[in-house]
């Protein structure tokens, strides 16, 4: 039985668990010198000038390595700001949640760049590969320590004196570099897939702009489009959940249409009493009555029945309409402009765009056959994007799996000596 608790060959005990015998546990203070960025105001950020990073961008714009800056400042502002150097690690010193506090990215560039306030800077020494360190700082071992050190409630802070005490697992420098190179191949694949998703998304937008207003016609169709009121092809549906059915509650988003509320927000934002909620049957539409001017309209095709807040309007179309075509048409820029115009002309803006007014909006529609052909073209574009997103998720999962193995020493890279 005692053999079960023996340290495996090639490994040793450490404050962070079993690690390879040639690895070390070090505190962050041993890896370099900490400093702070200086405040760069939002209104000081330009489209050209000296590159800079603000703490919020560490969360929203960068992952692991800063490859391309999104913000710039003038020379005058740069003279009052904190310069960063090649190999510096930048931490977000503030955040909205404990889970995200202290996210880190590496700056690898031989040119002048600057860090704003609430950015903590670690200027690394020669004992660590900065790119590998950026990966190490997002491992579960380190994130757990950062969460314990975060302070505050509505806004969470972490300070250099806290980061200095964080313990890290460090492989020998050659292995760090090899790990960084290997994980970098996944980063490259992820970046290329993201770029392809963006490209395909722009292509779909172009197709929508051309096909949904008849500027571009599909081969074989040349009939006139009809100008109709929405009420001519659709009807409001108002079914309350009086029997308190246990159905999925949906929310309507500007870009994604109808989505399961719990999955999308990660928490419950709807009422406990669902008896006043409206039922949205399959193949029905729903829009946010008070926020339709933002394009908050969706098409329900995933559930036999679902629920939506009573603040929404639900409707269905007749057999002359292809629902997917109509959904994209109603989310087009032209229709959103119409929603805004109707709401601005309303006497009671608080009432939003109710069905009586919404149904009077005029739209151009082709024959059902051409609607279906247009829908099929755009569905193919959707499928291409969906497959790329699945590939992107798989790449991210593969990379995270590799990080867990390589950065804990469970899997080693064979280095050629």
Domain ranges of the chain: 2-170, 173-216+367-417, 226-365
pLDDT of residue 4: 56
Q: What integer best gives the mean pLDDT of the chain? A: 92
Rounded mean pLDDT, 66-77: 93
Q: How much of the chain exceeds pLDDT 90, in percent?
A: 80
Q: Torsion over CA of 345, 348, 351 and 356, rounded to 10 degrees?
A: -60
Letter string b/e over residues 78-109, b meaning 16 or more CB atoms within 10 A of that residue's CB = beebbbbeebbbbbbbbbeebebbbbbbbbeb
Distances (CA, A) of 367 to 49, 215, 323, 372, 401: 53, 15, 13, 9, 51
pLDDT of residue 49: 95
Rounded mean pLDDT, 215-237: 95
Q: Is the pLDDT of residue 1 over 50?
A: no
Q: Is the pLDDT of residue 321 over 90?
A: yes
Confidence of residue 14 (pLDDT cuts 50, 70, 90): very high
pLDDT of residue 7: 78
- Topology of domain 173-216+367-417 in CATH is Helix Hairpins (1.10.287)
Whole-prediction pTM: 0.81
Rounded mean pLDDT, 181-203: 96
Radius of gyration of the chain (CA): 27
Rounded mean pLDDT, 13-19: 92
Confidence of residue 39 (pLDDT cuts 50, 70, 90): confident
Q: Is the pLDDT of residue 354 over 80?
A: yes
Q: Is the pLDDT of residue 348 over 70?
A: no
Q: Return the number of other C-beta atoms located less than 10 Å from residue 262's C-beta.
A: 15
Q: Three-state SS string across the chain, please?
A: CHHHHCCCCCEECCCCCCEECCCEEEEHHHHEEEEECCCCCHHHCECCCEEEECHHHHHHCCEEEECCCCEEECHHHHHCCEEECCCEEEEECEECCCCCCCCEEEECCCCCEEECCCEEEEEECCCCCHHHHHHHCCCHHHHHHHHHHCECCCCEECCHHHHCCCEEEECCHHHHHHHHHHHHHHHHHHHHHHHHHHHHHHHHHHHHHHHCCCCCCCCCCCCCCEEEEHHHCEEECCCECCCCCCCCEEEEECCCEEEEHHHHHCCCCCCCCCCCCEEEECCEEEEECCCHHHCCEEEECCCCEEEECCCEEEEEECCCCCHHHHHHHHCCHHHHHHHHHHHHCCCCHHHCCCHHHHCCCEEEECCHHHHHHHHHHHHHHHHHHHHHHHHHHHHHHHHHHHHHHHCCCCCCCCCCC
Q: What is the spatial order of strands in the sheet that 64-66 belongs to? A: 32-36, 119-124, 88-92, 104-107, 64-66
Same fold: 2-170 with 226-365:
yes
Q: Is the pLDDT of residue 148 over 80?
A: yes
Confidence of residue 5 (pLDDT cuts 50, 70, 90): low
End-to-end CA distance of the chain: 39
Rounded mean pLDDT, 354-364: 95
Confidence of residue 177 (pLDDT cuts 50, 70, 90): very high
The CATH number of 2-170 is 3.90.220.20
pLDDT of residue 111: 92
Rounded mean pLDDT, 32-42: 92
Q: At the fourth CATH level, which superfamily is domain 226-365? A: DNA methylase specificity domains (3.90.220.20)
Per-residue pLDDT reduced to its tens digit, 282-317 = 999 999 998 888 889 999 999 999 999 999 999 999
Letter string b/e over residues 369-386, b meaning 16 or more CB atoms within 10 A of that residue's CB = ebbebbbeebeebeebbe
Q: Is the pLDDT of residue 2 over 60?
A: no
């Amino acid at each position: 039985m005692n053999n079960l608790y023996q340290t495996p060959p090639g490994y040793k005990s450490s404050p962070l668990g079993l690690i390879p015998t040639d690895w070390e546990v070090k505190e962050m203070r041993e890896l370099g010198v900490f400093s702070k960025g200086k405040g760069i105001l939002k209104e000081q950020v330009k489209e050209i000038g000296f590159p800079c990073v603000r703490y919020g961008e560490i969360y929203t714009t960068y992952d692991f390595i800063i490859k391309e800056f999104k913000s710039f400042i003038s020379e005058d502002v740069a003279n009052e700001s904190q310069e960063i150097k090649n190999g510096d690690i930048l931490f977000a010193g503030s955040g909205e949640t404990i889970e995200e506090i202290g996210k880190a990215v590496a700056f690898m560039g031989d040119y002048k760049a600057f860090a704003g306030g609430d950015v903590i800077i670690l200027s690394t020494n020669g004992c660590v590969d900065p790119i590998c360190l950026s990966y190490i700082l997002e491992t579960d071992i380190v994130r757990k320590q950062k969460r314990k050190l975060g302070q505050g409630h509505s806004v969470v802070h972490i300070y250099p004196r806290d980061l200095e005490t964080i313990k890290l697992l460090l492989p020998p420098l050659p292995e760090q570099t090899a790990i960084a190179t290997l994980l970098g191949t996944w980063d490259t694949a992820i970046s290329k897939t993201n770029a392809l998703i963006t490209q395909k998304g722009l292509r779909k937008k172009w197709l929508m702009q051309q096909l949904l207003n008849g500027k571009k016609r599909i081969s074989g169709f040349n009939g006139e489009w009809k100008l109709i009121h929405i009420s001519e092809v659709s009807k409001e549906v108002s079914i309350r959940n009086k029997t308190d059915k246990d159905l999925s509650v949906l929310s309507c988003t500007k870009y994604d249409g109808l989505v399961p509320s719990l999955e999308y927000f990660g928490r419950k934002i709807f009422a406990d009493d669902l008896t006043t909620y409206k039922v949205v049957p399959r193949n029905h539409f729903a829009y946010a009555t008070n926020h339709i001017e933002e394009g908050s309209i969706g098409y329900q095709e995933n559930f036999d029945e679902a629920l939506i807040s009573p603040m929404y309007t639900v409707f269905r179309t007749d057999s002359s309409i292809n629902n997917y075509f109509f959904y994209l048409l109603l989310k087009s820029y032209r229709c959103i402009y119409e929603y805004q115009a109707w709401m601005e002309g309303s006497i009671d803006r608080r009432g939003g765009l109710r069905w009586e007014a919404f149904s009077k909006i005029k739209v151009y529609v082709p024959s059902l056959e051409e609607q279906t052909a247009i829908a099929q073209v755009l569905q193919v574009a959707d499928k291409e994007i969906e497959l790329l997103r699945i590939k992107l998720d798989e790449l991210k999962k593969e990379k995270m799996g590799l990080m867990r193995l390589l950065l804990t020493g469970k899997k080693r890279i064979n280095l050629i000596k």
